[in-house]
Structure formats: C-alpha cells, structure tokens
Amino acid sequence: MTTVGGVPHPPSRSPYPLRTIRDIRESLPEDQRRHFDAELADTEIEALPQMLHRWVTLSNDGFEEFLLSAPFEGLEFGARS
C-alpha cells in the first residue's frame, strides 16, 4: 500500500506500467509530448480518465518498436495502387 498526500492507497491493479502523468510524458517522444501537454491543458476534468487512458495505450502499443525492427519487410515499392 502506498501513501499519497498522507492518505493510504492500495497498489494499482492497472495492466499498464505507466502509473503517473509524468510516466506517460516521459514515455513519449519529444514531439508527442507537446501534443500531450496541449491536450492535457484543454481536457475537462470529467474527460481526463479517457484522455489519459488513450495516451497510455498509444505509448504502449509497440508500434514504434515494430517500425524499428523491420519497417519495410514484405513491402513492394514502385507500383501504383
């Protein structure tokens, strides 16, 4: 159990390793951090959980790792669709 602001909280049962807004920000590339900060500043309190969940999902989707591993494998270039 952790203590936040003197109030005990049970451990998070979140399936995501990112647990704070700072964790989310640090997991994003610099150009995406600006978009995250701008959206965070304009998001209403009631919509904050959905917004944060979306960014956590985006930062943990593995897409960037996929692109870096084999970005052009299986693609044919030069043909028109």
Sign of CA pseudo-dihedral 53, 62, 26, 28: negative
Per the prediction, the chain carries an average pLDDT of: 76
pTM equals: 0.55
Residue with tokens 């049970």: 10
At residue 69, does pLDDT exceed 70? yes
Q: How confident is the model at residue 1 (pLDDT cuts 50, 70, 90)?
A: very low
Mean pLDDT, rounded, for 29-49: 92
